[in-house]
Amino acid sequence: MPAALDILQQTFGYPSFRGPQETIIQTIVEGDDALVLMPTGGGKSLCYQIPALVRPGCGVVISPLIALMQDQVNAMRELGVRASFLNSTLDAATAADVERALVEGELDLLYIAPERLTQSRTLDLLKRCEIALFAIDEAHCVSQWGHDFRADYLQLSLLHEQFPAVPRIALTATADEQTRLEIAARLQLEDAARFVVGFDRPNIRYRIGLKHNARQQLLAFLKAEHPQDAGIVYCLSRKKTEETASWLTTQGFTALAYHAGLPAEERAAHQARFLREEAVVMVATIAFGMGIDKPDVRFVAHLDLPKTIEAYYQETGRAGRDGAPANAWMIYGLQDVIKLRQMMQGSQGSEQHKRIEQHRLNAMLGLCEITSCRRQALLDYFGETYPEPCGNCDGCLEPAQTWDATEACRMALSAVARTGERFGVNHLIDVLKGKETDKIWQFDHHHLPTFGVGDALDNNQWRSVFRQLVGRGYLSVDLQGYGALKLQEKCRPLLRGECDIALRLDQKQKVAKRQTKTPLPEDINVAMWEALRECRRELAEEQSVPPYVIFHDSTLVEMCSVAPKTLDAFSRLSGVGERKLMKYGEAFIAVIKNTEQEQFG
Ligand code: ADP
Ligand code: ZN
């Protein structure tokens, strides 16, 4: 049996394993099961790819992401791995070909869609073959709590029943305990070795700001920090993704929309452009992104609030999988909270389910409103402790100023109480500011003791007070519609004057210094970098694969600084395996020599 480390170095061109990869691989190689929870970009794929090469037979990878299978297979073939896929996009003749190759033992890896796998025909076929392992990717799809639930995944327990001798490895980036337990139970992996990798993504910078003019804020952020980068902008509604994408296009960006309502071909075309071109901004609903294996997404921007911290973490986790600096940037306002609460109330599902969702949204709001380190709060949510403030989030970099809002909060809460907890923010502000609107007259609110007591703050400041009171759980938004605010148990001591409260002083969100452009070292040889990129682009185009399938940016950066001029030296670069050495070594070495010739004579 070839050793795992040899394969890592020779086939993948990486010098060493990351974190627990080696132990996970060992577990599978020895024929045991594993449940792997690793953040996006942590390096999950190697955990089944290498055992599939070490063990005799073909590794079968079950993935719901059929749109990505072609790219995954291409990337494997680039490394010299004999990979294929089976899903509904193949015509009958090609599928028959793949099946023949499988039976004849010509495949190392087979990617397959769950609905295909569970057909009895496929199961019979697999029983005639030697199977190295089953890898269940995106394993959280078995969870009925999550938003990625796939009914086909529930049937995957049959793997254990019908192939008891084949080791199984389930992988996911979803962290919460509920999902973890469901995966173990539904896939009969209770006895599997568990690997939970730290969820920190140190290269991602988290920032959450207040929404005042969403488009202009986004534009300022993109112009200052990502004028030529690939990234994802998440919106709640389909319409908004389309409007935002076309607006960004008028501002000079290559922006595309993505949502479940687009025709399938258009969706596929947009996704392909995002993967293949270098600076496409995808404006998308949450329908986009699961399993997007693009390492150089430099930012994820949220124009609307995600429903849960899990979703936020998963979506932002799509940034910076290559380990280079990346931004997770979000703006939100009270309106988002109201909208989400209404959507939740209107959704299907039991009362218990709604309560859990509510609880999760509250945690998300809490994250938005904290004035300390966001990373500490995030990791704390996932049950990890991060000892010191991280230094790479807005909480750490631009500490929020706070003000003593005790008096203002009492006024706000009393306005809610005295109007019978039946009104939304705008009317409550009118009451506080003593504005004589029709509605005020209609409900006789000009007689209230709180009428006009709030002159010291302007409307925006009052909105900020209400938003933070909701965010911190002093007020709730009425679920029946209209967004009326209601008092929560938590506000009693505050109303009785038994405690003080400090609120965040909202500032217009600062745009940080540009620091997340492609992570080039200061002293890089720019001419060489450009020439190498051009070479990579041409090769990628020739083979119609994304540029990063040829080499990652980090390999090109190393190429610039080492400037190898022999194949032997070239082979020592991280990311250069035997196959890529043979295929591309000469071409890149020629570029290096040429550039040096031009520069230094
Ligand atoms: P995940 O599936 O967990 O999101 P991937 O398997 O796509 O992550 O890996 C993320 C990136 O890290 C990939 O580009 C991969 O090639 C790289 N990578 C994984 N393991 C190693 C390693 N041991 N050394 C260097 N790079 C690695
Ligand atoms: Zn921090």
* CATH label of the domain that carries residue 424: 1.10.10.10
Q: How confident is the model at residue 509 (pLDDT cuts 50, 70, 90)?
A: very low
The reply to whether 264 and 192 lie within a common domain is: no
- Separation between Cα atoms, residue 4 and residue 14, nearest integer Å: 12
The reply to whether 219 and 359 lie within a common domain is: yes
The reply to whether 460 and 594 lie within a common domain is: no
What is the distance in A from the centroid of ligand 2 to the CA of 433?
37
Q: Is the pLDDT at 526 greater than 80, yes or no?
A: yes
What is the distance in A from the centroid of ligand 2 to the CA of 197?
20
End residue of a domain, out of 397, 416, 442: 397
The reply to whether 60 and 101 lie within a common domain is: yes
* DSSP, residue by residue, 132-199: EEEEETTGGGG-SSSTT--HHHHTTHHHHHH-TTS-EEEEE----HHHHHHHHHHTT-TTSEEEE---
The reply to whether 134 and 30 lie within a common domain is: yes
* Percent over 70 (pLDDT), the chain: 96
Q: How confident is the model at residue 305 (pLDDT cuts 50, 70, 90)?
A: very high
In a domain, residue 440? The reply is yes
DSSP E strand boundaries for 316-391: 326-332
Q: Give the range with max mean pLDDT: 66-70, 127-131, 138-142, 496-500.
A: 127-131
H-helix or E-strand spanning residue 439: helix 438-442
**For the chain, what's the residue count?**
601
Query: Interhelix angle for 406-418 vs 425-433, to 10°?
Result: 110
What is the distance in A from the centroid of ligand 1 to the CA of 18?
8
The reply to whether 362 and 227 lie within a common domain is: yes
The reply to whether 362 and 414 lie within a common domain is: no
Query: Mean pLDDT in the chain?
Result: 89
Pocket test for ligand 1, best of 6, 14, 50 (most atoms within 8 A of CB): 14
- Separation between Cα atoms, residue 327 and residue 316, nearest integer Å: 8
pLDDT at site 519: 60
Nearest atom within ligand 1 for CA of residue 16: 23
Average pLDDT over residues 467-482: 78
Average pLDDT over residues 427-447: 92
Find the range with the poorest average confidence among 68-72, 106-110, 570-574: 68-72
Which residue's alpha carbon is at the smallest distance from atom 9 of ligand 1? Answer: 43
Other C-beta atoms within 10 Å of 92: how many? 7
Measure Cα distances from 69 to 94, 366, 492 in Å: 15, 38, 56
What is the distance in A from the centroid of ligand 2 to the CA of 1?
46
Looking up residue 191, the CATH number of its domain turns out to be 3.40.50.300
Find the range with the poorest average confidence among 48-57, 367-376, 411-420: 367-376
End residue of a domain, out of 340, 362, 397: 397
In a domain, residue 519? The reply is no
Which residue's alpha carbon is at the smallest distance from atom 24 of ligand 1? Answer: 14
Measure Cα distances from 317 to 28, 40, 310, 430, 494 in Å: 26, 6, 10, 41, 38
Measure Cα distances from 325 to 226, 311, 394, 561 in Å: 12, 21, 15, 19
Q: Is the pLDDT at 508 greater than 70, yes or no?
A: no
* Residue 143 CA, distance from chain mean position: 18
Which residue's alpha carbon is at the smallest distance from atom 17 of ligand 1? Answer: 43
H-helix or E-strand spanning residue 440: helix 438-442
Q: How confident is the model at residue 6 (pLDDT cuts 50, 70, 90)?
A: very high
In a domain, residue 521? The reply is no
Q: Is the pLDDT at 143 greater than 70, yes or no?
A: yes
End residue of a domain, out of 169, 196, 223: 196
Q: Is the pLDDT at 321 greater than 90, yes or no?
A: no
Which residue's alpha carbon is at the smallest distance from atom 19 of ligand 1? Answer: 43
The reply to whether 443 and 560 lie within a common domain is: no
Span 33-54, pLDDT tens digits: 999 998 877 889 999 999 999 9
* Percent over 90 (pLDDT), the chain: 59
What is the distance in A from the centroid of ligand 1 to the CA of 591?
27
pLDDT at site 93: 95
Q: How confident is the model at residue 344 (pLDDT cuts 50, 70, 90)?
A: confident
Answer yes or no: is the C-beta of 473 below 6 A from any ligand 1 atom: no
The angle at the Cα of 137, spanning 135 to 142, to the nearest 5 degrees, equals 110
Average pLDDT over residues 1-12: 89
In a domain, residue 511? The reply is no
The reply to whether 44 and 168 lie within a common domain is: yes
Q: Is the pLDDT at 148 greater than 80, yes or no?
A: no
Q: Is the pLDDT at 514 greater than 80, yes or no?
A: no
In a domain, residue 518? The reply is no
What is the distance in A from the centroid of ligand 1 to the CA of 197?
14
3-state secondary structure of 492: helix
The reply to whether 188 and 271 lie within a common domain is: no
What is the distance in A from the centroid of ligand 1 to the CA of 322?
8
Answer yes or no: is the C-beta of 201 below 6 A from any ligand 1 atom: no
Span 226-277, pLDDT tens digits: 999 999 999 999 999 999 999 999 999 999 999 999 999 999 999 989 988 8
Answer yes or no: is the C-beta of 320 below 6 A from any ligand 1 atom: no
Which pTM was predicted? 0.70
The reply to whether 271 and 335 lie within a common domain is: yes
Q: How confident is the model at residue 322 (pLDDT cuts 50, 70, 90)?
A: confident
Looking up residue 579, the CATH number of its domain turns out to be 1.10.150.80
What is the distance in A from the centroid of ligand 2 to the CA of 367?
12
Range of the domain at 439: 402-504
Answer yes or no: is the C-beta of 18 below 6 A from any ligand 1 atom: yes
Q: Is the pLDDT at 539 greater than 70, yes or no?
A: yes
Buried b vs exposed e over 203-234: b needs ≥16 C-beta within 10 Å?
A: bbbbbbbbbeebeebbbebbeebbeebbbbbb
Q: Is the pLDDT at 543 greater than 90, yes or no?
A: no
Q: Is the pLDDT at 515 greater than 50, yes or no?
A: no
Q: How confident is the model at residue 518 (pLDDT cuts 50, 70, 90)?
A: low
Pocket test for ligand 1, best of 46, 136, 137, 316 (most atoms within 8 A of CB): 46
User: Is pLDDT larger for residue 299 or for residue 541?
Assistant: 299
Other C-beta atoms within 10 Å of 236: how many? 19
Nearest atom within ligand 1 for CA of residue 574: 25
Which residue's alpha carbon is at the smallest distance from atom 25 of ligand 1? Answer: 14
Domain count, the chain: 4
In a domain, residue 510? The reply is no
The reply to whether 34 and 75 lie within a common domain is: yes
Other C-beta atoms within 10 Å of 447: how many? 9
In a domain, residue 537? The reply is yes
In a domain, residue 366? The reply is yes
